Structure 1
């Protein structure tokens, strides 16, 4: 099935980082030093990643965030603009350095990430309120948790009160008031984040589906991504599983979750049902792990035309 999207207003509020991708055979254990095989600098940050992923699939995307007045910030701004993302609401700070992430990518493709927020933590409630309070509010607002939790809380509440649909990717996991997560449609988490939220382990696909069903009683809808197993979803009417296609060789999992969220947002903004949006999200995430880096690995609509699939 060919992916059909139409530009729709999507506002992404979140982080922008410069990623330092360090390739190692196996990551170091505590107290251990290992030699890296290579290092690459590339645009990243969950907010910027999701904005780029959505823009590449045809979304009409505006990004709200902060960068430092430095070379890294200038690079991130150029890359976002080149991808077709509206950066008119990105603030530049002389008093903060641009956020950065050190990403260790093992030969298996798995990664571990350390983030230094920098200017990302300079985003204020008043700035977000100003953007959301415009005469023509966005139809869909996407957030993550690499900005301060108080900003996430304020943005979710104001966006929902303005009538926008809120997609919150609770990554990395932070504890938010129940009244905030209740407004999310959907609340998107990976397996580890869902475990942190509910306080129990997810040992199987059946566990994930059960927890998604339970969570939908407290949120408008929920999605739990499960890597190679795909994703589970639940909304007020139904729930289901979308399996991921097998990948012969995983190159790099960095940013795959952001590819999922960006694709999901585009389909939701175009009026798709949640199960359909999860289908394209799984396809986008699967595509991303076959290539290096985060934003550089994201699909265009034509890349996914044979990969969209939905399961019950």
Structure 2
């Protein structure tokens, strides 16, 4: 079948810091790099590299960055027919500050992403679409319009509720699956600490509005958990040999989960495969460039990936 991703496309500028920066401090960066990124683009590449036919819908500016973003997706075999090129607005940009341990802070300028239209996303859907994956770096109203449209009724609608913004909560009831990291989950539920175990994640049931909904929470180096109204599953993480850059790990996880659902993988196995893929991604530089291919995940697991 196929995965359709509606979301952001950014030109990423990554700055590797010698230490954690403080307000008012000037630091000389160790190195800098430019690469394609944006949650939508990253997740589309992750899904495509994991073996699902993938379509991307969104918007870029009529500039060199926009050409680079479209070309990067096309090179991965992602259908870009519904990535609009807009006049009078620049392509999205992100500045990524990476600390020595691999943790990061990301500053995003939405630019063209703020003008991505639900019409383009809906046009990317066809009879082969099985999964619709979105995030919150585009206009929330456009996401809502896509989820509510009859054309998406039969799809598995996945909301990666990132970044955590108040308006995002209004979309929860429209999604079939919600994906959060620890920080986002704690923000949306106003928890006094981030979840650190499957027991901490069970409070996710407060977000469910119907029996067929599910919530996934990634727990960093611990693993990930999936919660339904009546049951839950946990998949431990695969320790990374070296953590270089965590900026693409969450997007890698989401893209692989979407591909697994498209390919009919059981939920427990989908979590396991997505954890394995993310553990590879954190050992590489960059966001989109760090997404592993299906064969690399199989090699890490030491087994063939079957569905």
TM-score norm. by structure 2 comes to 0.91
Aligned residue number for residue 168 of structure 1: 159
What secondary structure does 2:57 align onto?
strand
Q: Which aligned pairs between 1:121-200 and structure 2 lie closer than 5 A?
A: 121-132=114-125, 136=127, 138-158=129-149, 162-176=153-167, 180-200=171-191
Shift of 1:175: 2.7
- Within 1, Cα distance between the matches of 2:290 and 2:32? 17
Shift of 1:128: 3.3
Residue among 199, 207, 222 paired with 1:215: 207
Number of paired residues?
Answer: 300
Q: 2:4–2:124: 8 Å Cα contact kept in structure 1?
A: no
Shift of 1:271: 1.2
Shift of 1:181: 1.0
Taking only aligned residues, the RMSD between alpha carbons, in angstroms, comes to 2.0
- Within 1, Cα distance between the matches of 2:168 and 2:91? 29
Q: Which aligned pairs between 1:241-260 and structure 2 lie closer than 5 A?
A: 241-260=234-253
- Within 2, Cα distance between the matches of 1:280 and 1:160? 29
Query: Using a 3 Å threshold, how does the CA distance of structure 1 residues 122 and 137 change in structure 2: closer, same or farther?
Result: farther
Q: 2:130–2:156: 8 Å Cα contact kept in structure 1?
A: yes
Query: Using a 3 Å threshold, how does the CA distance of structure 1 residues 210 and 216 change in structure 2: closer, same or farther?
Result: same
Shift of 1:182: 2.1
Aligned residue number for residue 4 of structure 1: none
What secondary structure does 2:148 align onto?
helix
Q: 1:264–1:278: 8 Å Cα contact kept in structure 2?
A: yes
Q: What are structure 1's unaligned runs of at least 5 residues?
A: 1-7
What secondary structure does 1:49 align onto?
helix
Aligned residue number for residue 5 of structure 1: none
Q: 1:208–1:224: 8 Å Cα contact kept in structure 2?
A: no
Residue among 253, 261, 274 paired with 2:254: 261
Residue 296 in 1 paired to residue 289 in 2?
yes
Aligned residue number for residue 31 of structure 2: 38
Query: Using a 3 Å threshold, how does the CA distance of structure 1 residues 138 and 203 change in structure 2: closer, same or farther?
Result: closer
- Within 2, Cα distance between the matches of 1:37 and 1:125? 40
Q: 2:144–2:174: 8 Å Cα contact kept in structure 1?
A: no
- Within 2, Cα distance between the matches of 1:192 and 1:243? 18
For structure 1, which segment, 271-280 or 154-163, has the greater mean C-alpha deviation from structure 2 after superposition?
154-163
What secondary structure does 1:188 align onto?
strand
Residue among 186, 197, 205 paired with 1:205: 197
1:222-256, CA deviations, whole angstroms, 9 ceiling, x for partnerless residues? 10001111111112452121111222321110111
- Within 2, Cα distance between the matches of 1:105 and 1:78? 26
- Within 2, Cα distance between the matches of 1:144 and 1:163? 19
Q: What are structure 2's unaligned runs of at least 5 residues?
A: none
TM-score norm. by structure 1 comes to 0.90
Residue 116 in 1 paired to residue 116 in 2?
no
Residue 56 in 1 paired to residue 49 in 2?
yes
Query: Using a 3 Å threshold, how does the CA distance of structure 1 residues 269 and 159 change in structure 2: closer, same or farther?
Result: farther
